[in-house]
Structure formats: C-alpha cells, structure tokens
Amino acid sequence: MKTVYYFTADWCQPCKKTRPIVEELNREQTTTGFQIIDVDDNIELVNSFNIRSVPTFILFEDGLEKNRIIGAQSRESLEEFIK
C-alpha cells in the first residue's frame, strides 16, 4: 500500500488550490491513501520530516519514503507522482 502525506496550511494559497485535487484523488484511489496534515496543528511531525515549505507531498511505500515534491501540483503531476 502506498500513502501520501500532504502537508498543508489554511493560510497557504497554493494549498487551497491543491487540496480539492488531493481530496478527489483520495476518494478515487484504491491503492494509495492520502493523509492531509495541517502544519500548524502537527509541529512535531513537520519537524520530524523536515518540512520547510507547503504544500509538500511525501510518498511512502511499505513504510519507506520513496519520493517527495514541493509546491502546488496539477492532478496529472500528482497521478504521475504516485505511480
């Protein structure tokens, strides 16, 4: 199983544009789950993953980090990211 951690913030404009895409993909994907993580509410997790910009996407497969992208993404780029 793949999991994507999506680090976001309510005050982040690129995050506001990306979040509906993430929520849609989360509903549609059967092999990948998305965890939406608000950086303001999860400081310890943000620090443990060394998050410095939002939005940040981290792809995990079998519990190991496989890939990371930073910045607003299109649906197409997120689909490619999780392949």
One-letter identity of residue 1? M
Tokens (6 digits) for 4: 């994507």
DSSP 57: E
Q: What is the pLDDT of residue 19?
A: 95
Q: What is the pLDDT of residue 1?
A: 84
* Cα separation, 17 vs 74, whole angstroms: 9
Using alpha carbons only, give the angle 79, 74, 49 rounded to the nearest 5 degrees.
75
- Reduced to 3 states (helix: H, G, I; strand: E, B; else coil), residue 63 is coil
Instruction: Report the chain (83 residues): mean pLDDT per 10 consecutive residues.
Output: 95 96 93 95 96 97 95 95 91
Q: In the chain, what are the domains? A: 2-82 (3.40.30.10)
Q: Which residues are catalytic?
A: 12, 15
**How many helices and strands (H and E) does the chain possess?**
3, 4
E strand map for 1-83: 2-8, 32-38, 56-61, 64-70
